[in-house]
Structure 1
Amino acid sequence: MFKVLLWALAIYMLYRFIFGFVVPVSKTASQIKQKMSEMQQQQAFQQHEYARQQEQQQQKSAASPTPKKDDYLDFEEVK
């Protein structure tokens, strides 16, 4: 009778350990991995967008005509 109670207690403790600790920890770890991968994808997308915007700005600045020297007037500062 004592062996049966001891085995029942051991099985109950093992059950509590698995479903009270191991399963929640594994679920949390998988959720963290998923969130990390989402964040990495979002960061990669943002970096791509930033690079594209920088490229567009460089193209606009290269395409805009450079001002001619004749467009500027020399002036003397009056004190």
Structure 2
Amino acid sequence: MFKVLLWALAIYMLYRFIFGLVIPVSKTASQIKQKMTEMQQQQAQQQQEYARQQTQTAPKSGPTATPKRDDYLDFEEIK
């Protein structure tokens, strides 16, 4: 009789361990992995869009205006 109760208690504890800890942890791990994959895909898309915008707004090579020397003020250090 005592053996049967001990086995029933062991099976119950194993059941509680599996369904209370192992399964929820594995589900959470798979959800985190899925969210990380989604975030990486979103980041890759944003980088592609940024690169596309940079190529579209890149200045065209042409003559650049050099600033005149008269446009700058001399800097004097104040003590």
- Tell me, yes or no, whether TM beats 0.5: yes
5+ residue gaps, structure 1, are: 69-79
Aligned mates of 1:28, 1:55 — CA distance in 2 = 41
Relative to total residues, which structure has the larger helix share, 1 or 2?
Answer: 1
Report the RMSD for the aligned CA atoms in angstroms: 1.8
Residues 20-77 of structure 1 deviation map (CA, whole Å, 9 limit, x = unaligned): 000000000000000000000000000000000000011xx217x7588xxxxxxxxx
Match runs of 1:14-53 below 5 Å: 14-53=14-53
Query: How many residues are paired up?
Result: 66
Aligned mates of 1:9, 1:62 — CA distance in 2 = 78
Match of 2:23, SS? Answer: helix
**Counterpart position of 1:62:** 60
Q: TM-score, normalised by structure 2?
A: 0.76
Q: 1:53 to 1:10 in 2, by over 3 A?
A: same
Aligned mates of 2:7, 2:15 — CA distance in 1 = 12
**Counterpart position of 1:3:** 3
Q: TM-score, normalised by structure 1?
A: 0.76
Aligned mates of 1:3, 1:44 — CA distance in 2 = 60
5+ residue gaps, structure 2, are: 66-79
Aligned mates of 2:56, 2:21 — CA distance in 1 = 52
